[in-house]
């Protein structure tokens, strides 16, 4: 870690404390009840103190307000209806966090991973240096790594932590070196295969006036299944429960009794409304998914869990192994929400009074003032990105939903798969007859309304990049018909059975998805047709997909069995080429029909 940012941050806080001493009487008088140390008598330090824990997760480099449905929060109204509220953007997130901290002398800010990776062009074009700068400005104290922190490998993650200009592209601004994060990234369950040691710090301890809270950070054990092979090369990912319990014991031995786990793994609440009560009818009854088993397995030494990865909003109390309720939170994604949790710290036991823990998610609304320092940061990087970001790539006649679609078959998924097939169908480009796109790789919608001065319906390079930010290289491989059928069945079986991952398929491939059945049988094998013909199990087919899928990512082991590989252009290049070839200002591209997958429910 660079020493300079840490020193500057410490200096800011010392100066702020000194300045505050001159008006301490007024400050105490203005504090809300519960923000002060709870005690009686002049000069007497209270036994308990309320510590404010602010948290968020899955920012993914969204510095500007996310467009379309990706930038809205669902709020359940008193009459039972659901309202969509525009939210997000670091200019507003900064204001929200700074406002929340007022009157709270003990405040710590933590994050649950995926701060960077799969980022819009404004951050992704510069290898997420702008996002790290923004997080420094938000006064983030600590974050866990997420799976996307490994998109460019452990060496690049270490650069984001420690600073230094990019090894290939160098420094982006003249006479200005990237300083790195002035907060620790925690990676307790990620070790170097050769040394067995964590690639980054496993934990850190936040301290103030004798109050000590330990933070342990882990990412999901299954990270290698959802990141390209190069990104996790030389790394080993360990069990989340075992790792957190190991380091909780170590912190306990050091006298740190108050512990928060930052876990980049999550759950699925029964409702998408951010204010849904997932403790109804009982503690944790309204949430399912991996985080539930993790929470139930983590030692009672841990007092709260800040989670992420699933991009969901929830504040639940899931019972720990001793049966006592424990707070488990997640704040959606893209900076649209933040969580405010009160941890009552007992100075005598040095532990959190678990029965006093309270938490709630809050919308980062766009009807508040923007933080001027974040506005300046965005403007500075936008100036550097402008020559590339604003280039028109094509034209659309209406919104084409991808991330914002909840259907198995997404209009934007069809468009992307068609672009990949068209670009790789020529014999000299691979001879593909079908293309598959992983749904998680579609990071946004194509929005008809102008995002800047380009005009309605214009798709800019920046907007296309936001949809396909990984710049994965395309592969064309040989697969047998039997392997093709198995791959389609793996969408709803094996590791994907509990949470299906429905591939987006190119035109010409059709089949029935029967959700009334279970496991692999949900894909009706006899219904699978390519250009109207049944798949021949013994025949060889040329299949196009990105390098992530070609490596067996997302649980598609069958796709990883391809042979006779040809590496083609990047997914983004094919996407932009398709937009250019199929749209003009006078004849824009319409949203594709979604008639390739027949869903039976």
pLDDT tens per residue, range 391-437: 999 999 999 999 999 999 999 999 999 999 999 999 999 999 999 99
Mean pLDDT computed over 537-542: 98
pLDDT tens per residue, range 271-311: 999 999 999 999 999 999 999 999 999 999 999 999 999 99
Domain boundaries, the chain: 44-363, 391-600
Please say if the pLDDT value at position 25 is more than 70.
no
Partners of 24 in the β-ladder: none
CB-neighbour burial class of residue 351 (10 A; exposed 0-12, middle 13-18, buried 19+): middle
pLDDT tens per residue, range 190-235: 999 999 999 999 999 999 999 999 999 999 999 999 998 899 999 9
Please say if the pLDDT value at position 5 is more than 90.
no
Instruction: Give 281-333 as a DSSP string.
Output: SSTTTTEESHHHHHHHHS-TT--EEEE-SS--EEEEEEE-TTS-EEEEEEE-S
Looking from the CA of 326 toward its CB, the CA atoms found within 13 Å total: 28
Question: What is the per-residue pLDDT for 579?
Answer: 98
pLDDT tens per residue, range 63-78: 999 988 899 999 999 9
Domain 44-363 has CATH 3.40.640.10: no
Question: What is the per-residue pLDDT for 32?
Answer: 42
pLDDT tens per residue, range 324-369: 999 999 999 999 999 999 999 999 999 999 999 999 999 999 999 9
d(CA 367, CA 566): 50
Q: From 403, 315, 280, select the one nearest 56 (Cα to Cα).
A: 315
C-alpha triplet 372, 375, 377: angle, nearest 5°: 110
d(CA 62, CA 56): 13
Question: What is the per-residue pLDDT for 8?
Answer: 44
38 band by pLDDT with thresholds 50, 70 and 90: low
Phi/psi at 516 (nearest 5 deg)?
-80, -15
Question: What is the per-residue pLDDT for 1?
Answer: 37
**pLDDT-above-90 percentage for the chain:** 90
DSSP code at position 593: P
Name residues whose C-beta falls within 8 Å of residue 309's C-beta, 6 or more positions apart in sequence.
Answer: 57, 58, 112, 113, 114, 146, 147, 220, 264, 265, 266
- Please state, in angstroms and as integers, the Cα–Cα distance from residue 261 to each residue in 213, 283, 337, 435, 534, following that order: 11, 19, 19, 40, 50
Question: What is the per-residue pLDDT for 537?
Answer: 97
Q: Which CATH architecture has domain 391-600?
A: Alpha-Beta Complex (3.90)
Residue where the block lists tokens 């290898």: 127
Question: What is the per-residue pLDDT for 330?
Answer: 98
CB atoms within 10 A of CB 45: 11
């Amino acid at each position: 870690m660079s020493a300079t940012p840490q020193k500057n941050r410490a200096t800011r806080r010392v100066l702020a404390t000194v300045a505050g001493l001159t008006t301490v009487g007024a400050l105490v008088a203005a504090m809300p009840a519960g923000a002060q140390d709870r005690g009686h008598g002049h000069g007497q330090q209270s036994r308990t103190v309320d510590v404010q824990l602010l948290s968020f997760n899955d920012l993914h480099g969204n510095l500007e307000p996310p467009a379309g449905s990706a930038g809205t929060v669902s709020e359940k109204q008193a009459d039972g209806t659901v309202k969509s509220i525009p939210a997000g953007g670091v200019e507003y997130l900064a204001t929200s966090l700074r406002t929340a901290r007022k009157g709270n002398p003990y405040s710590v800010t933590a994050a649950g991973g995926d701060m960077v990776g799969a980022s819009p062009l404004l951050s992704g074009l510069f290898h997420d240096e702008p996002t790290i700068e923004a997080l420094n400005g938000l006064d983030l104290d600590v974050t866990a790594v997420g799976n996307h922190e490994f998109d460019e490998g452990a060496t690049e993650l270490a650069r984001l932590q420690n600073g230094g200009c990019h090894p290939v592209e160098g420094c982006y601004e003249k006479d200005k070196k990237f300083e790195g994060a002035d907060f620790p990234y925690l990676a307790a369950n990620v070790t170097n295969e050769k040394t067995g040691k964590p690639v980054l710090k496993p934990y850190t301890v936040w301290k103030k006036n004798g109050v000590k809270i330990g933070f342990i950070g882990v990412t999901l054990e299954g990270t290698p299944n959802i990141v390209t092979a190069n990104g996790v090369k030389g790394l080993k990912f360990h069990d989340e429960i075992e790792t957190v319990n190991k380091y909780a014991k170590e912190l306990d031995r050091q006298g740190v009794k108050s512990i928060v786990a930052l876990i980049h793994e999550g759950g699925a609440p029964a409702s998408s409304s951010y204010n849904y009560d997932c403790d109804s009818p009982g503690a944790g009854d309204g949430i399912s998914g991996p985080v539930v088993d993790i929470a139930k397995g983590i030692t009672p030494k841990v007092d709260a869990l800040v989670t992420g990865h699933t991009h969901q909003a929830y504040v639940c109390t899931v019972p720990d192994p001793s049966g006592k309720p424990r707070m488990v939170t997640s704040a959606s994604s893209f900076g649209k929400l933040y969580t405010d949790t009160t941890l009552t710290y007992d100075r005598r036991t040095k532990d959190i009074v678990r029965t006093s823990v309270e938490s709630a998610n809050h919308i980062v609304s766009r009807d508040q003032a923007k933080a001027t320092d974040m506005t300046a940061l965005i403007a500075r990087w936008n100036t550097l990105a402008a020559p590339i970001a604003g280039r028109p790539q094509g034209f659309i006649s209406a919104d084409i939903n991808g991330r914002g679609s909840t259907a198995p078959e997404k209009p934007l998924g069809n468009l992307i798969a068609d672009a990949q097939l068209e670009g790789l169908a020529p014999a000299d480009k691979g001879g593909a007859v079908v293309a598959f796109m992983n749904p998680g790789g579609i990071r946004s919608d194509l929005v008809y309304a102008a995002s800047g001065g380009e005009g309605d319906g214009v798709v800019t390079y920046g907007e296309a990049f936001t949809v396909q930010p990984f710049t994965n290289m395309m592969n064309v491989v040989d697969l047998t018909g039997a392997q093709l059928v198995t791959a389609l069945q793996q969408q709803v079986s094996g590791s994907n059975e509990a949470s299906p991952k429905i591939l987006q398929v190119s035109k010409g491939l059709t089949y029935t998805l029967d959700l009334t059945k279970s496991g692999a049988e949900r894909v009706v094998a006899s219904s699978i047709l390519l250009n109207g013909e049944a798949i021949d199990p013994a025949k060889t087919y040329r299949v196009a997909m990105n390098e992530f899928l070609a490596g067996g990512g997302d649980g598609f082991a069958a796709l990883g069995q391809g042979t006779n590989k040809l590496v083609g252009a990047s997914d983004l290049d094919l996407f932009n080429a398709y937009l250019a070839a199929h749209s003009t200002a006078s004849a824009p591209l319409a949203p594709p029909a979604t008639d390739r997958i027949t869903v039976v429910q």
